[in-house]
Amino acid sequence: MEQRKLNDQANSLVDLAKTQNIMYDLVSDLNERGEDMEKRIAMLETKLETLLSNLQALPGLISQVISQQHRDFLEVQLQPYDKHSHDRSQSVSRRRSSSTAPPTSSESS
């Protein structure tokens, strides 16, 4: 009977040691996962800060692009007008110069 108690106690100690090893492994695994989680959170914070910075710069960039597109649009719209206006001014000046010039010998005969 005494031997049986000693065997039971020895088995209990072995079970306790196994349980302790399992608990140590679990705690180590949790610590490792916690460190990985902290690294991921730090990377997410960095990415969020970059994203926030880019979002804050976005209205200014959109404004610049819209302004440039507006200038380009106006330039394209005014080109035919400027060309037509330039052509008209040249034809008007040609008419004026020919009408105000003294008649040449070929025109008077």
| pLDDT for res 47 | 98
Domain range list for the chain: 2-92
CA distance 31 to 15: 24
Band (pLDDT 50/70/90 cuts) for residue 95 is: low
Q: What is the pTM of this model?
A: 0.52
CA distance 31 to 38: 10
| pLDDT for res 103 | 56
Q: Is the model more confident about 85 or about 18? A: 18
Give the mean model confidence (pLDDT) for residues 74-85: 77
| pLDDT for res 16 | 95
| pLDDT for res 109 | 45
Band (pLDDT 50/70/90 cuts) for residue 78 is: confident
Say yes or no to pLDDT of 96 above 90: no
pLDDT tens for 13-66 read 999 999 999 999 999 999 999 999 999 999 999 999 999 999 999 999 999 999
Q: Collapsing DSSP states into helix, strand and coil, what is residue 107? A: helix
